[in-house]
């Protein structure tokens, strides 16, 4: 195998696929990227950890055909340190030689025969195309609310539905719920046949990062039985869908709120981060006290001490003391794009809803923590 490729394009391709590699796996080849020549002017890069597979194609001048695997992390480190020039890769036995101007690297790899075979083509009978920007935006708004990644755990997935021109996504870990609705242009989905799926949150997190490395206007999604293939530009992401009955999350959202506060997002982030310095990291609890256009935040740690901060807000209802895991609130505030946030409250033990004032189709529900005493 021998080819010449643009350094930046090659590095970009490695950064895309390395998200599916396994650094410390039972099979060393899973830490590698499979490099395969395609015709006279392309190479294809593959990586997989069996749960998630990613491949992408880049332009290259092929001098000798072949396929081989190289350590993804080491290859990325080498390419990132080279000048912005064409690079040549030439395979000699189990060693690949990379040259760029006066720089030369010999990197030992593993035979392509040890790399798992990944089936990337499935039927397009059940498929759709969706605009990249609103889809990625919705992912970023909800994905952090999903439970930690665990195979076949429903709550580690993100429920996604496209019905005519509305995309709805939701995620919950049992303590919080994020739901967003976005208008999309999508003629391929009929009103009487919504496109529904539960996608592993990890896959969507990786997709949102990959999207920053491309300029694709649309994303294509095909699903067949338990498998899904997401195509964005020249990249394909292959994984398994999560099957089961996702919680009826819309029933969990209170319909009325007797108390409401409006806060400045930037001020709230700063105050929360200050108070959190003295919070017990085992439970991450911060107490919120609403009264007379004021919000008092307080935290304490038996071993370290306590902290307090106060904010001017809009709040005229009766006083209310309620506590939350502050990390949940901070995650939402740092994602929300609006500068003013509406906090909709009931009682100290009822679900509280946070809504960006300029984007009411995005809600973030958090269950409070019971205060002692």
Structural domain range at position 65: 2-114
The CATH number of the domain where 275 resides is what? 3.10.150.10
pTM of the prediction?
0.90
| Pair 251, 293: CB distance under 8 Å | no
263 shares a domain with 187: no
Residue in this structure with the two tokens 């994984």, named with its chain if needed: 239
Indicate the residue among 84, 114, 144 that finishes a domain.
114
Q: Please check whether residue 373 lies inside any domain of the structure.
A: no
Q: Please check whether residue 287 lies inside any domain of the structure.
A: yes
246 shares a domain with 138: yes
Indicate the residue among 210, 233, 250 that finishes a domain.
250
303 shares a domain with 333: yes
Q: Please check whether residue 140 lies inside any domain of the structure.
A: yes
| Pair 179, 253: CB distance under 8 Å | yes
Whole-angstrom distance, CA of residue 66 vs CA of residue 62: 9
Q: Please check whether residue 238 lies inside any domain of the structure.
A: yes
89 shares a domain with 24: yes
264 shares a domain with 239: no
Closest by Cα among 312, 316, 324 to 287: 324
48 shares a domain with 98: yes
User: pLDDT 10s per residue in the chain (373 long)?
Assistant: 999 999 999 999 999 999 999 988 779 999 999 999 998 899 999 999 998 999 999 999 999 999 999 999 999 999 999 987 899 999 999 999 999 999 999 999 999 999 999 887 777 778 888 999 999 999 999 999 999 866 558 999 999 999 878 999 999 999 999 999 998 876 566 566 788 999 999 999 999 999 998 889 999 999 987 899 999 999 999 999 998 899 999 999 999 999 999 999 999 999 999 999 999 888 899 999 999 999 999 998 888 899 999 999 999 999 999 999 999 999 999 999 999 999 999 999 999 999 999 888 999 999 999 877 5
Q: Please check whether residue 260 lies inside any domain of the structure.
A: yes
Number of domain units in the chain: 3
- The string of DSSP letters for 322-368 reads EEEEHHHHHHHHHH---SEEEEEE--TTS-EEEEETT-TTEEEEE--
């Amino acid at each position: 195998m021998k080819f010449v490729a643009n350094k930046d394009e090659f590095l970009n391709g490695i950064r895309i696929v390395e998200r599916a590699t396994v650094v410390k796996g039972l099979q060393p080849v899973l830490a590698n990227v499979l490099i395969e020549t395609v015709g006279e002017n392309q190479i294809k890069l593959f990586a997989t950890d069996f749960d998630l597979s990613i491949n992408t194609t880049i332009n290259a001048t092929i001098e000798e055909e072949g396929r081989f695997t190289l350590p993804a992390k080491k290859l990325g480190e080498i390419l990132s340190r080279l000048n912005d020039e064409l690079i040549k890769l030439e395979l000699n036995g189990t060693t690949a030689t990379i040259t760029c101007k006066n720089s030369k690297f010999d990197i030992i790899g593993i035979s392509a025969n040890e790399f798992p075979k990944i089936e990337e083509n499935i039927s397009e009978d059940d498929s759709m195309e969706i605009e990249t920007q609103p889809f990625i935006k919705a992912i970023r708004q909800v994905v952090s609310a999903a439970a930690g990644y665990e195979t076949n755990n429903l709550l580690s997935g993100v429920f996604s539905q496209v019905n005519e021109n509305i995309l709805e996504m939701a995620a919950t870990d049992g303590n919080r719920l994020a739901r967003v609705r976005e208008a999309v242009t999508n003629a391929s989905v009929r009103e009487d046949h919504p496109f529904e799926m539960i996608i592993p949150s990890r896959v969507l997190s990786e997709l949102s990062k990959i999207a920053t490395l491309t300029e694709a206007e649309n994303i294509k999604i095909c699903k067949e039985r338990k498998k899904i293939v997401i195509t964005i530009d020249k990249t394909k992401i292959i994984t398994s869908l999560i099957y089961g009955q996702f919680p009826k999350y819309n029933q969990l959202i209170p319909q009325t709120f007797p108390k409401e506060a409006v806060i400045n997002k930037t001020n709230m982030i700063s105050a929360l981060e200050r108070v959190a310095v003295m919070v017990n990291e085992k439970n991450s609890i911060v107490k919120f006290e609403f009264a007379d256009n004021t919000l008092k935040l307080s935290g304490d740690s038996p071993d370290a001490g306590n902290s307090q901060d106060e904010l001017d807000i809009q709040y005229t209802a009766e006083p209310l003391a309620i506590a939350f895991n502050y990390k949940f609130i901070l995650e939402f505030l740092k994602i929300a794009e609006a500068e003013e946030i509406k906090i909709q409250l009931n009682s100290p033990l009822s679900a509280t809803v946070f809504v960006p004032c300029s984007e009411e189709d995005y809600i973030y529900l958090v269950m409070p923590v019971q205060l002692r005493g």
